[in-house]
Amino acid sequence: MAKIKPSKGAPYARIMGVGGYRPIRVVPNDVILETIDSSDEWIRSRSGIATRHWASDEETVTAMSLEASGKAMADAGVEPHQIGGVIVATVSHFQQTPAVATEIADRLGTIKPAAFDISAGCAGFGYALTVAKGMISDGSAEYVLVIGVERLSDLTDLEDRATAFLFGDGAGAVVVGPAQEPMIGPTVWGSEGDKSDTIKQTVPWTDYRDGTVERFPAIRQEGQAVFRWAVFEMAKVAQQALDAAGITADDLDVFIPHQANMRIIDSMVKTLKLPDHVTVARDVETTGNTSAASIPLAMERLLATGQAKSGDTALVIGFGAGLVYAATVVTLP
């Protein structure tokens, strides 16, 4: 029996650089209130969101990804020709095929990298990061570009009082490369498909195409069910990620949860009993819920504002439609 030659990959992987892009247009709650019966106070108390960014026609999924990726590669000191993989996490690129990752890879000037999209909702960045880590370790790429990008304004029903205020647009990217010590911990990830109806698209695209429905598909969710699941079940997953990395909450410097809702974030902090010294990302206040883009965008802002620093130990966790989730501990670039 022939033996397969061992891979020549690096023993470990790390995040080397991060970049973000938020659309120019800032949308305050007053704009949302033009189409739903609510109030700024109610929106802030329920979600913590004051503003969000909505993309223009020119700020496409590709365009936002290119902006974020350029910043991430510059931050990492990596040139396009060194990139061996491009992974894009998104649910709002409306061209089914080819993968938008292939267009992004070409326009960045990379040379024939592996390029593909991942559809894992708000956990997409964590899924993509885990795949990138594996590519580095098995030697199939030296550097991998991971992008989380969304134009959720295209999937928002502005007349739905439960969701109209939640979603925003943007792109975040990181470059993953080799390391000689563990700098991305084991991923705790999974799915609970029996709860898939709690967050979903209203109707299939084919219903809209065939004229079965007149309204363009949008995102719907059962707010209370999602809240309970996120607070109680995802706190357990976050703890499992800490355990898998061999650290405790006291060892953490930063907590970067998916920016879904400020109440969820605060409740998770309480459930996990995070010490006061841990910096908590609360980017949702001004960026809204950007699904797969929310973690890298929040990471970029923490580093840019000095709230977090290079070398900090951070717990990241994404969770959303599916229901799917992914959590890991990383060293910040």
Q: Which of 53, 93, 258, 261 is catalytic?
A: 258
Q: Is 289 a catalytic residue?
A: yes
As a whole number of angstroms, the distance between CA 122 and CA 178 comes to 26
In 10 A of CB 311, how many CB atoms?
10
Whether the Cβ atoms of residue 331 and residue 196 lie closer than 8 Å to each other? no
As a whole number of angstroms, the distance between CA 279 and CA 253 comes to 6
As a whole number of angstroms, the distance between CA 125 and CA 100 comes to 15
Whether the Cβ atoms of residue 89 and residue 118 lie closer than 8 Å to each other? yes
What are the tokens at 252?
């953490």
In 10 A of CB 180, how many CB atoms?
9
CA nearest neighbour of 85 among 67, 64, 99: 99
Q: Is 122 a catalytic residue?
A: yes
Per DSSP, the three-state class of 315 is strand
CA nearest neighbour of 285 among 263, 306, 267: 263
Q: Is 93 a catalytic residue?
A: no
Q: Which of 29, 93, 122, 261 is catalytic?
A: 122
CA distances from 265 to 53, 182, 184, 311 (A): 20, 27, 22, 23
Q: Which of 29, 53, 261, 289 is catalytic?
A: 289
Give me the active site residues, please: 122, 258, 289
